[in-house]
Structure 1
Amino acid sequence: MADTRLIQGRYRLLDLIGRGGMGEVWRARDESLGRRVAVKCLKPVGPQHDESFTRVLRERFRREARVAAALQHRGVTVVHDFGEHDGVLYLVMELLEGRNLSQLLEDNKAHPLDVADVVDIAEQVAWALAYTHDQGIVHRDLKPANIMRLTDGTVKICDFGIARLGQDIGFSSRLTGTGIAMGTPHYMSPEQIGGDHVDHRSDLYSLGCVLYEIATGVPPFDLDDAWAVLVGHRDTQPRPPRVHRPELPEFFDRVVLDLLAKTPEERPADAKDLAHRLTAARASGSVAVPLPAPALRPPAGRPEQPPSRAPRLPSWTRGMTTGHKASGTWALASAPPDHAAGLTGEWTTGAGPRAAPAAPAALRPERHTPSPEVLAVLTSRHDAGLSLGRLGRWNEAGEVHRAVAAERERALGPDHPDTLASHYEVGFTLSRTGRAAEALREFDRVAEGRERTMGPDHPETLAARQETAYVLGQLGRHEEAHQVYADVLASRERTMGPEHPDTLRCRHNLAFNLGRLGRLEDSYRMAHEVATARTRVLGATHPDTLVTRYEVAYALGRLGRWTEALQTYRDVARARARALGADHPDTLAARYEIGISLGRLGRSAEALELYRDLVDDRTRVQGPADPETLRARHGLGVNLGRLARWEEALAEARDVCAIRERVLGPDHPDTLVSRREIAVGLGWLGRWADALAVYRQVAEARERVLGADHPDALAGRHDEAHCLEQLGRGAEAVELYRRVADLRRRGGARSH
């Protein structure tokens, strides 16, 4: 772009004033009108990028640029023009003289701004939001870096439409080869975190976070751990700003706390209402009344957090980094230019995404050191893969991580921590898509590389070894998995302590694996110990605690202690409904197990009603053909049979089997379970000849897929023999029983 200097024969680029993950920003001159402007250029999208992604990017850029260009208000950055030039998308904006709020805090060494300035900024932003919300536009990424204070005192909101463009692309299109990653959680509303509907009141919450930070010097939830930040937004009441800074006006304290209400309904009705409150308060000359200093005041930047209720957080939040907040040490060593051009903090500081650490000297004596820009792009692409994984889009995430792993290996070497981190994520996506053998090879490679470069007891090494154990379990190699888990646990206990969350996670996995080895009492005892420890360390309703309590219930069921299992599952389901929501998959999974327990206790009428409700909820949330919806329908059919309603049970089994065959395939284990349920229904209706044909289909498929001596294949042949017996074909039945018994003996001898 720098070589062309002239865009569309009109905009002459003068000098670069910012660079970020999506491109560059230039100070430019509009030759037609003779005025200075800022030109934001998105990175070229050439043939190396995915064509469908390129189409999505261009279409959404044009759509959002039109949105931004339609906004005309003194509190919103003016967009003059947009288009495409030589494959580069560009946006022409007014050139602003001033600093964004993030920079102002940096200039002030992370100290809060003057009270008068804070209130003035709040009022101006409120009026600007009132205008944009009236146009039906929600910003969705309001933060200090997106709010400019000009040299004349005017406050402007920046990146309307462009912020949404980044979010839309990041969450709804393929990210292979892109530099777009999930942003900071410090200013996200609870509904954004939960993936719920977002409207103008989400902007009001984000504004509350911004005002809290510029007034106190810290965000409302200033923690290094992203999980804790997100939990804070969802479940913890923020400390009033005046606790940090007593000279703040009382009305301002109330305004900020109203904006930070957990539900949209509790916040101000709209930005116009907020603006009127601020204007009226300023006109009345309200002044602060200092509060007495609290007896125990937390250190600056680390407010004490009251115990949170259990977090209602979706799976994509796990592993999320905190990102940049306004105050910190991430600014460039040299001050950025004053002409910020209405850009985000990433643009104005030139900081961009977190750069990967440089390779240790021992790893790069003969290697050309890649540029910081290359490392930053690879880091951003890595983060994009993580975002896809959090959304459950494992195949796409795997594509991204494989490409980044190959490029990092070329640029940094095979044992560089960043290269190994990419291979770790490749293994993770493989294990989540059923490719356990390939995942095992990746995790073995990562564990060996990390042990060489970091040592055997480094947390990253242990994490890779723990995933190795997990995929060994997926492959049915539970004895090997047990040994790896035991070794990792010993190292974690020695280096981290017995109640470190990572130690407890390893003990949880070991308890799970003990159950798969048939050591049920040991599995139950260890799971119970882990649940008790997690309750003490994390809280009774933390998702990890509930996962372990779920495992306790499973172990109780396998021990035949169904009454205790039922009560535990019910406790878990109630806690998950409160913490995660009634429709969260984990909540629905616990309800499914309640049905299993009721059936085992002979309470099939209750189980039937539970499954009817669960099928309705699964269908509404996940769709009629989702495997979990079909699992609930299978449970419903089984309990119809237990109530001797066999015609209905047979119809349900046939319907579920047909959908499973279409969705999962004819030989999938779930399909075969449904086919067997058809045979059971036929048998109970006295149609033994028809049942025999279906039982044989199941047995043959299981032998073909699993092997003749697999327990499920043997169970299928046992069903077939029983059917022969019912048909009076005793000699054939006896011969088949003998063959099954012989295969079981041989299989047992091999296992020892």
Structure 2
Amino acid sequence: MADTRLIQSRYRLLDLIGRGGMGEVWRARDESLGRQVAVKCLKPLGPQQDRSFTRVLRERFRREARVAASLQHRGVTVVHDFGESEGVLYLVMELLEGRNLSQLLEDNAQHPLPVPDVVDIAEQVADALGYTHQQGIVHRDLKPANIMRLADGTVKICDFGIARLGHDIGFTSRLTGTGIAMGTPHYMSPEQISGGEVDHRSDLYSLGCVLYEIATGVPPFDQDDAWAVLVGHRDTVPEPPRAHRAELPGFFDRVVLDLLAKKPDARPADAGDLRQRIAVGRTGGRPLLPTTGRVVLAPPVPVPHPAVGEPRLPGWTRGMTTGHKAAGAAPAAAEPADPSAGLTGSWTTGTRTAGIGTGPAAPEPPAVLAGRHSAGLNLARLGHWAEAGEVHRSVAAARERTLGPDHPDTLASRYEVGFTLSRTGHAAEALREFGRVAEGRERVLGPDHPETLAARQETAYVLGQLGRHFEAHQVYAVVLASRERTMGPDHPDTLRCRHNLAFNLSRLGRLEDSYRMAREVAAARTRLLGATHPDTLVTLYEVAYTLGQMDRWAEALQTYREVAAARAAVLGADHPDTLAARYETGISLGRLGRSAEALELYRALTEDRTRVSGPEDPETLRARHGLGVNLGRLARWEEALAEAREVCVLRERVLGPGHPDTLVSRREVAVGLGWLGRWAEALTHYRAVAEARERVLGPGHPDTLAARNDEAHCLEQLGRDAEAVELYRRVASLRARPGTGD
């Protein structure tokens, strides 16, 4: 937007004071009232978004903006106005003079804030939350960057409504599909991590994390990777703040530990209760009797200290990259925008700050590029693949200009670009990107360097995505030989390559070889990592899949059940990997003719998927498809047809009419119609499936030929034998051509 841009003939944008992944913040002048304000302009959606989605977005924005504007409390940023100008949604807020808590920690060289300031901030934030919670509003993304301390000492919470808007619009993609809702890793409540119901007590937990950090200088779970942080929130009792800083008052120690209780019911009843406890502790007065029947002043939580060398968190959480925290190791000038904040991203400002979460001013490359690269990694780990790709492309281009195309940092960014492309369905583009990276790393680092091999291995993975399994096999074999030679047979990267090779062998039809290799990898991972390590379970899942391909369904069923039970114990019952194993258990039951059991499994799985991911999530629809298939196997064809029709309509809306899953559902509709003797209607669907597959896959693709066979069979049932014979001949001819068929 130009500096002289006038919004709605009223708000004149003067200068840009902040920019984040979802938009910009401008210092502006309200021409009507003659005052300076902050205008937050949300980044417009691209043309790829359909009109109905955009309409829902605008309505959600208006609704949440009204909520934010309705909040009138000295501890909440004032929203003056909102609207839309030339397709850009905007909020007009008070312009604040001050620093957010993240900046205050950085100003203090990452040392904790003075005790009186910490207690004062705690009391003011509790007061503001007490007010907003009474209005039925939950923030969902409370963190140091969203809490401002003004020049006069007033503390304000920023971005109410916007956090929930980001969640509902979908900018808060699941953390590797785990069902984790809105939040930033260092400040997320256990119920957010588990994908459970979030209420005002989640804000109280996040506040506990914030207070812990500003009081001690470190978050309660100061681990080196995001998964370790999240597992810490979920499973680990935090050390008392006074273990880090003995001068903290005892009442504050107890308050923070109560806020950090794993179960919402064990936290303070509400923010009003919390504020009263802080006020009583600060003044030394006697506490009032609790009105909720709960004990307000809980005793200190005993903390078992781990033995020397003993990991405080499960070993499988190691090796992953952490999300942003206020007291990070990066210097103040190099802090990246918070990748997990969705619409509440860090907004770079000086001392004059808009009424939203703010971050420090971004420096010049190369230091800032390292921070942005890290932000891109965190976006990917939180499931924001498309946004991560945008970040990595930008960083790669900047690094190429400043460092050169073959610099390791440039190639690292290019590698991540390829990774995001492969995870967003752009396999051909990913293949080109990984090819460039592999060649560059070979020139600079050598053919056997681990980073060169990583790029080669991803090349093989993408070749498999493209169905080029023989070429993938050749690349995997070369990489595996190099890894075994340079790293040894038991190195995690060697085992990962062998796992991928086993997977690819099954796609080549070499099922015995695939099964044998997968069993070997599973045994090695069990020995090195443990029987319930997620990597071990991934390989056992592949063993089960290959057993199914070999028609050894009883063994496949047993293995899938073992994997599902272990994942439920280690990852949680609602983890997508656990749910995936349950889905495959249903497939095995169906193949064994145990359709009644499969039906009940899919019914329960559909309920769980709906609760965790929503009724229109592709995995929810996959579970419903399994339910419908087994209704048919039980000859309950009217119910099966109704289920297939509903799933088909939803898949067409969510995935598109030509998506393979949509076509599978449409075929299931045709199957149901056929069993009900409605062959003329069935023909319409069979033909539509065949034509769609021919357009997308080509006339000789096995799936297209199978669809044409379905169409020919339907013609036979209608007595149109000549047309059926002609179609059978065409299918046979196409199958006989070189390069066609399985």
Q: TM-score with structure 2 length normalisation?
A: 0.71
Change (3 A) 1:537 1:194: farther
Conserved? CA contact 1:80–1:94, under 8 Å: no
Give, as a single letter, the amino acid of the residue that structure 2 aligns with 1:357.
Answer: P
**Which structure 2 residues correspond to residues 413-432 of structure 1 after superposition, within 5 A?**
414-415=405-406, 420=411, 423-432=414-423
Contact 1:38 1:341 in 2 (8 A): no
Show the counterpart of 2:341. none
Shift of 1:220: 1.0
Task: Supply the AA of the counterpart residue of 2:169.
Answer: S
Is the Cα contact below 8 Å between 1:607 and 1:639 reproduced in 2?
A: yes
Aligned to 2:501: 510
Gaps of 5+ in 1: 176-181, 312-317, 359-371
Question: In terms of mean alpha carbon deviation, does 163-172 or 630-639 score higher?
Answer: 163-172
Deviation at 1:194, TM superposition (A): 4.9
Q: Per-residue displacement from partner, 1:564-599 (whole Å, max 9, x unpaired)?
A: 321222233344445555555444332221122112
- Paired with 1:487 and 1:739, the residues of 2 have a C-alpha distance of 41
SS in structure 2 at match of 1:279: helix
**CA displacement at 1:267 relative to structure 2:** 1.4
Please say which of residues 537-546 and 593-602 is displaced more in the overlay. 537-546
Distance verdict in 2 for CA 1:679–1:275, change over 3 Å = closer
Cα distance in structure 2, aligned partners of 1:646 and 1:294:
58
Structure 1 residue 551 displacement after superposition: 1.6
Deviation by residue 1:650-673 (Cα, 9 ceiling, x = unmatched):
776677678767877787655665
Q: Does the CA contact (< 8 Å) of 1:192 and 1:198 recur in 2?
A: yes
Q: Which residue of 1 aligns with 2:474?
A: 483
Q: Distance in 1 between matches of 2:301 and 2:581?
A: 47
1:606 CA displacement: 1.5
Please tell me whether the aligned partners of residues 389 and 397 of structure 1 are also in contact (alpha carbons under 8 angstroms): no
2:541 alignment counterpart: 550
Equivalent in the alignment of 2:222 = 222
Structure 1 range deviating more: 410-419 or 690-699: 690-699
Provide the rounded CA distance (Å) in 1 between the counterparts of 2:534 and 2:166.
Answer: 29
**Alpha-carbon distance between aligned partners in 1 of 2:524 and 2:724, rounded to the nearest angstrom:** 52
Give the equivalent residue in structure 2 for 1:307: 313
Q: Deviations over 1:373-426 (max 9, x none)?
A: xx69x948x9579748955675x7767766776676567654455655555455
2:156 maps to which residue? 158
Amino acid in the other structure paired with 2:127 = W
Structure 2 residue corresponding to 1:521, chosen from 507, 512, 516 = 512
Which structure 2 residues correspond to residues 229-268 of structure 1 after superposition, within 5 A?
229-245=229-245, 248-268=248-268
1:330 aligned residue: 331
RMSD: 6.2
CA distance in 2, matches of 1:92, 1:555: 61
Q: For residue 357 of structure 1, what is the aligned residue in structure 2? A: 366
Q: 1-side partners of 2:217 and 2:715: how far apart? A: 79
The yes-or-no answer on 1:597 pairing with 2:595 is no
Contact 2:68 2:79 (C-alpha < 8 Å) held by counterparts:
no
Structure 1 residues 91-240: aligned runs within 5 Å? 91-93=93-95, 95-96=97-98, 101-102=101-102, 105-106=105-106, 109-113=109-113, 118-147=118-147, 154=153, 156-161=154-159, 165=162, 168=165, 172=169, 185-194=185-194, 196-240=196-240
Change in Cα spacing, 1:698 to 1:731, as seen in structure 2 (3 Å) is: same
Secondary structure of residue in 1 paired with 2:185: coil
Q: 1:138 Cα shift?
A: 4.2
Asked whether the equivalents of residues 141 and 164 of structure 1 are also in contact (C-alpha less than 8 Å), the reply is: no
Match of 2:292 in 1: none
Contact 2:651 2:662 in 1 (8 A): yes
**Structure 1 segment 343-742 matched on structure 2, within 5 A:** 347=358, 349-351=360-362, 357=366, 379=372, 383=375, 387=379, 390-391=382-383, 394=386, 414-415=405-406, 420=411, 423-492=414-483, 501-532=492-523, 534=525, 543-577=534-568, 582=573, 584-615=575-606, 617-618=608-609, 628-629=619-620, 631-643=622-634, 670=661, 711-712=702-703
Separation in 2, partners of 1:3, 1:699:
55
Alignment partner of 1:158: what SS?
Answer: strand
Distance 2:244 2:132 in 1: 32
The aligned amino acid for 2:564 is A
The alignment-based identity, stated in percent, is 68
Moved more, 234-243 or 253-262: 234-243
Contact 1:531 1:545 in 2 (8 A): yes
Offset of 1:480 from its aligned partner?
A: 1.4
Q: CA deviation at 1:270?
A: 1.0
Distance verdict in 2 for CA 1:525–1:134, change over 3 Å: same
**Does the C-alpha gap of structure 1 residues 69 and 410 become closer, same or farther in structure 2, counting only changes over 3 Å?**
farther
> Per-residue displacement from partner, 1:234-268 (whole Å, max 9, x unpaired)?
33222233444456444433322211122333311
Deviation at 1:608, TM superposition (A): 2.7
Q: Which moved more, 1:277-286 or 1:259-268?
A: 277-286
Residues 21-32 of structure 1 aligned to structure 2 (within 5 Å): 21=20
SS in 2 for 1:602: coil
C-alpha spacing 1:535/1:241, structure 2 compared with 1 (3 Å): farther
TM-score (norm 1): 0.70
- In structure 2, relative to structure 1, the CA distance for the partners of 1:409 and 1:131 (3 Å cut) is same
- Native 8 Å contact 2:254 2:300 kept in 1: no
Contact 1:385 1:398 in 2 (8 A): no
Q: Deviations over 1:170-204 (max 9, x none)?
A: 983889xxxxxx98522232344455554332222
> Any idea what the Cα deviations from partners look like across 1:59-95, whole Å, max 9, x if unmatched?
969975994795443x567789999999998754454
Q: Distance in 2 between matches of 1:111 and 1:631?
A: 50
1:472: Cα distance to partner? 0.8
- Indicate how the Cα distance of structure 1 residues 265 and 521 shifts in structure 2: closer, same or farther if over 3 A, else same: farther
Q: Would the aligned equivalents of 1:68 and 1:160 in 2 still touch at CA under 8 Å?
A: no
- Is the alpha carbon distance of 1:448 and 1:321 closer, same or farther for their aligned partners in structure 2, counting shifts above 3 Å? farther
Q: Which amino acid aligns with 1:127?
A: D
Contact 1:246–1:290 (CA under 8 A) maintained in structure 2: no
Counterpart of 2:467 in 1: which secondary structure?
Answer: coil
Query: Aligned in 2, Cα 1:186/1:38: closer, same or farther, shift over 3 Å?
Result: farther
The match for 1:366 is none
- CA distances 1:100-144 after superposition (whole Å, capped 9, x unpaired): 654555566544456565445434443343344345554444434
Change in 2 beyond 3 A, CA 1:676/1:196? closer
Stretch of structure 1 that moved more, 443-452 or 634-643? 634-643
SS for the counterpart of 2:332 is coil
* Distance in 2 (alpha carbons) for counterparts of 1:50 and 1:722: 39
Query: Is the 8 Å Cα contact of residues 79 and 94 (structure 1) preserved in structure 2?
Result: no
